[in-house]
Structures are given as structure tokens and as C-alpha cells.
Amino acid sequence: MIRLLIIISLIGAFLSCRFEKSDKGQFEIDQTLQSGKRFFVQDSSVYAPEFISGLRKLDSEYDSVRLIGNYLIINTADTSWIPTALPLDELVNYRATRGDTVYSLGVKRISYTTIDYEFKVNDIRIKTGQVTLPAQFIFGLEFTEIGANEAIPMVQYFDQNGIWTCIKIESGTARRIDFQMQSENDSTKNYMQVPVLTRI
């Protein structure tokens, strides 16, 4: 009896979720979530899987969501834009100095939600990896203070693999980046003090 119920549940889940692969390699998601909310992604291959699963988990915040390119349409009316100020598949370099120390960061956006990065101090590679836009970006921007009288809006991306890393990119222009990395093997969660880097 239990096995029959499991099979019926799996069939129901399959029928409520329609996947279509187009000739262009697109992978569409069109489903009704368990909560009854509508969830549509035009092409899931251009977003990080954790971004899509994060949107699913936020279903208490919406009645429906449609993800098309860099447009995130919530409840058919409210629209958020996934940042695209960084060019796709193009290396962009940033730099900052403090005294004799030179901080360098190379970033490359490889999808709507994922960025490859390489961080160096005085030309010595410190960390490479990928940061991902969290689904929670729909709740608003972060702000980074620059001096005493300026705070710039930033979009956050995170790397949870190994040493925790956060890259905050200036909203709209990607002109400046705030790079934060937890000090290695530091259980107190202190962070390397890196000045805000500017695009070069």
C-alpha cells in the first residue's frame, strides 16, 4: 500500500512539472509547486541550480514567478532584473592598493547567476572559484560605505565552497567591487581586509 502511494505521488509530481528541451538546447521548467504556486523558467541551463532551487524555497513570497532571460517576474506585475553589467564570457579586471600591497581580482560572468573569479595579492594567487547570485537578491541591494559620505549599492554573490567568499558588485555599472573572504582556518569568522577594488 505504501509503495502504491509513493508511485502515485511520483506520477503526480511528474505530471505537474513539464520539461521541454528545444532544438537550441534550452531546458524549460513549467510547474505547479507543492504549495500551489506557479513556477516557470524559460531556460534553466543559463542559471545556477542553487539559484533555481533557492527561488523555489521562497514560494511563500509569491503566487507565481516567471524567469525569462534576466527578467524575474513575480505575480505577473513586479519585475526584478538579474544584473548583467558584467559582459558575458569576458574577463574583467579590478585593482586596489593599500601602501605597498596590490590587490587584484579578475572576474568572468559565465551565466546570468554565476561568476568565475581569481583573487591575487601582489601577483600571488590567493583564491580562485565561482560565486553565485542568491535568490534572495529579490529583497533588495546591499550597500558598501566608501569613505565617510558615500555608500554604493551592491549586488552580492557568494562562494560557499571551502573558504567563505563574498563578491559585491556595484549595481548598474560594475565599476567597483567589494571583495570579502574569511581568513583561512579562522573559526572566529574574521575577514581579510581588502579595500574596494576599481575596474581597470
Long-range own/partner contacts, residues 136-143 (CB < 8 A, 24 or more apart): 136/54, 136/58, 137/80, 137/82, 138/58, 138/61, 138/72, 138/74, 138/80, 141/171, 142/168
Task: Kindly report which listed range (26-35, 102-111, 120-129) carries the lowest average pLDDT score.
Answer: 26-35
Residues 111 and 75 reside in one and the same domain: no
Kindly report, residue by residue over 57-114, the tens digit of the pLDDT.
888 888 899 999 999 998 877 888 999 999 999 999 999 999 999 999 999 999 999 9
- Tell me: pLDDT of 25 over 80: no
The answer to whether residues 99 and 195 belong to one domain is yes
Q: How many Cβ atoms sit within 10 Å of the Cβ of residue 119?
A: 22
In terms of residue numbers, what domain contains 30?
A: 16-81
Domain count of the fold of the chain:
2
pLDDT tens readout for residues 133-163: 999 998 888 898 887 788 899 999 998 777 7
* Same domain flag for 57 and 95: no
Q: Would you place residue 1 in the very low, low, confident or very high pLDDT band (cuts 50, 70, 90)?
A: very low
